[in-house]
Amino acid sequence: MSRPITRRALLASVIQATGVAMLAPSFGCTDRGSLQALREELQTLRGARVVVPPLKGFRDLRGVIHTHSYLSSDSNGRPEEFLAGAQQAKLDYLVMTDHFDPRIFTEGLKGQYGDLTVISGAEFPLGCTRKRGVTRRCGSILGFGFSSSLAQTFSPDSYSKSELIAQIKRYGGLVFLGHARGVPNLQYFEMVHGMEVFNIADTMRERYLSVPGFMINLFATQQEYHEELLLSVIERPNWLLARWDQLTRTGHRFVGIGGNDAHQNLNVLGVLVDPYGLVYRILNTHVLVDVQDSESAASPSANIILAALSQGRCYLAFSLLCDASGFQFYAINPLGTPIAMMGDVWGYVPRSQLVVRLPRVGAIEIFKNGVPEFRTVGRELEYTPSGPGVYRVEVFLKLQRRWRPWIISNPIYLLEER
Ligand SMILES: [Zn+2]
């Protein structure tokens, strides 16, 4: 979302910081003792993790979509900073989405940087739901993975929004709606590949009015518990999930992704509240890439990652709770043969089953057409679906006596044969 730099100086360093501030009380952390207890519980939770063998022919890649750098007016992040952040967060891929500036074509990073695949893209404003008022929200277009030849004729200011979307697609790019709650016109949902089901910056902004407990704790503990304090940003995105379910229920593939919206721009009295390394670890969009051929197994290229994203072979994971790598959700026929992966649109087969595997025990909830249909606690589940429908999974982990969202899968579309 475009935020003029004049608003940033005060808002970013004071109001946004106190906005982040209210996050802490929801976790009940008001002193070093309770933060230490939280840390220990988190270590126990992460320690119970096992390695899930990958599904044959696929590899699970961890990535971040929606990040800004100095090419955006509201960030000063240098390439060496976000590359180091990607390394800290153990990312396999990073999707850049600077507010559009022609320099993304000349200075923007793209390609392989060690083990990291950087995919270039841009964010474009899409309008707002209201002109004024506290509930004003602004949506955006996230376009990425387009060919660099787009630069020759690209003129976003002269296009209508639908022309802009078409142009990015024409050059091989994917288009997602960012800050999807602020998208002013429902027709845009029909033009794109998918939407952000979570946006970290929006979640922080929604919480403006609380007490500055976060900053007090951050300073009082000399940032020792920065990671634990940021855990409070993790919440179930109820509105966005309901909207997403409404769109997928028709059987039309519509891909859900995570939006980190990282800027590394909240500096309060010399303390960096949102360093790339930490914001990249809060939330990840994992993709399952096809590695049938040896070339893609060695170093998955941007094209293979983009193909998996466009097919919905991906899931969101709040990695700050626990690494979700290895999560599996697929359908098998009565003979036990996999027939559909996340994102696949497939004919419903009677007595087929949905398989869920986790790297640690969690509460697994199966949704059919947006409605919760089954819930259990475990590490593995084979579930017989109740008939044709659009099925997806959410997984929750218990921390400090509350179930926290951990994994949100893309749906498998098991449709009635026509
Ligand atoms: Zn953004």
* Sign of the torsion formed by the C-alpha atoms of 117, 119, 120 and 122: negative
Q: Decide if 345 is inside a domain.
A: no
Q: Decide if 391 is inside a domain.
A: no
- Domain with residue 92: its CATH number is 3.20.20.140
CA atoms within 13 A on the CB side of 27: 32
Neighbouring residues of 337: CB distance < 8 A, sequence distance ≥ 6: none
* Distance between Cα 319 and ligand 1 center (Å): 20
* Distance between Cα 77 and ligand 1 center (Å): 13
* Distance between Cα 141 and ligand 1 center (Å): 9
Q: Decide if 213 is inside a domain.
A: yes
Does residue 92 sit in helix, strand or coil? Answer: coil
Q: Decide if 385 is inside a domain.
A: no
Q: Decide if 289 is inside a domain.
A: yes
* Distance between Cα 89 and ligand 1 center (Å): 19
Distance between CA atoms of residues 265 and 239, nearest Å: 27
Neighbouring residues of 355: CB distance < 8 A, sequence distance ≥ 6: 328, 329, 330, 331, 332, 338, 380, 381, 382, 383
Q: Decide if 400 is inside a domain.
A: no
Q: Ligand 1 (ion): which residues have CB within 5 A? A: 123, 261
Domain tally, the chain: 1
* Distance between Cα 187 and ligand 1 center (Å): 21
Task: Residue 312: count other Cβ atoms within 10 Å of its Cβ.
Answer: 27
* Distance between Cα 147 and ligand 1 center (Å): 21
Q: What's the predicted TM-score (pTM) here?
A: 0.91
Distance between CA atoms of residues 309 and 315, nearest Å: 10
Q: Decide if 241 is inside a domain.
A: yes
Print pLDDT tens along the chain (418 aa). Answer: 434 333 344 334 433 433 343 444 444 445 788 889 999 999 999 999 999 988 888 999 999 999 999 999 999 999 999 999 999 999 999 999 999 999 999 999 999 999 999 999 999 999 888 766 666 789 999 999 999 889 888 889 899 999 999 999 999 999 999 999 999 889 999 999 999 999 999 988 776 544 466 777 777 777 788 899 888 889 999 999 999 999 999 999 999 999 999 999 888 778 888 999 999 999 999 999 988 765 555 667 899 999 999 999 999 999 999 999 999 999 999 999 999 999 999 999 999 999 999 999 999 999 999 999 999 999 999 999 999 999 999 999 999 999 999 999 999 999 997 5
Q: Decide if 146 is inside a domain.
A: yes
* Distance between Cα 206 and ligand 1 center (Å): 15
Name the residue range of residue 209's domain.
Answer: 5-322
Distance between CA atoms of residues 91 and 117, nearest Å: 9
